[in-house]
Amino acid sequence: MTDYSLILFDTALGRCGLAWGPAGLRAVSFPEASDGETRARLRRRAPGAVEAEPSPEIARLVEDIAALFEGEKRDLSYAKLDLDGLGDFEQAVYALSLDIKPGEAKTYGDLAKALGDVAQSRRVGQALGRNPFPIIVPCHRIVGASGAMTGFSAPGGAELKRKLLKIEGALAPDLFDAP
């Protein structure tokens, strides 16, 4: 018997997934190449997770993620996160990331400076690259010093990061965006 549950759900960007347990949200997955790969990603942080009906809190999160990907502004920072197994540095980086509201962006250097040493920018990027809660802990809102869409390891990479920032209003639409 496992303490972890998971759900896969459809969004405008594809099938995403969430895994949760008694202490809160355990993992989030953007769309992978297949449902099996999405489940595998979720189970790396929530071993043995089984598909289950979502609790009201998880159902709200599913609805809000789907709405965000449709272009609605949603603040997902209310989600209760299970931080077990994450280091102090990662937790500090994720806490700072959660303070960045939809429509805003900061640089890796901004976060490193807030942690006390701008020289830690690369370490901040590495922590965000391991973020088990993408979209909830909004690592897409952290950009390179010049505003470059760097360091986004989710499927879709920098283009997905740019799309999310446009949805949230942190970047203006450009010539190639559909009206």
Rounded Cα gap, residues 133 and 119, in angstroms = 25
> How far apart, in whole angstroms, are the C-alpha atoms of residue 67 and residue 51?
22
Compute the chain's Rg from CA coordinates: 16
Among candidate residues 86, 139, 154, 167, the one labeled active-site is 139
DSSP secondary structure, 41-89, as one string: HHHHHSTT-EE-PPPHHHHHHHHHHHHHHTT-----TTSPB--TT--HH
Q: Token digits for 148?
A: 């470059």
| 16 labelled catalytic | no
Structure tokens at 125: 């990027």
Say which residue the tokens 């299970």 belong to.
82
- Any idea which residues carry the catalytic annotation? 139
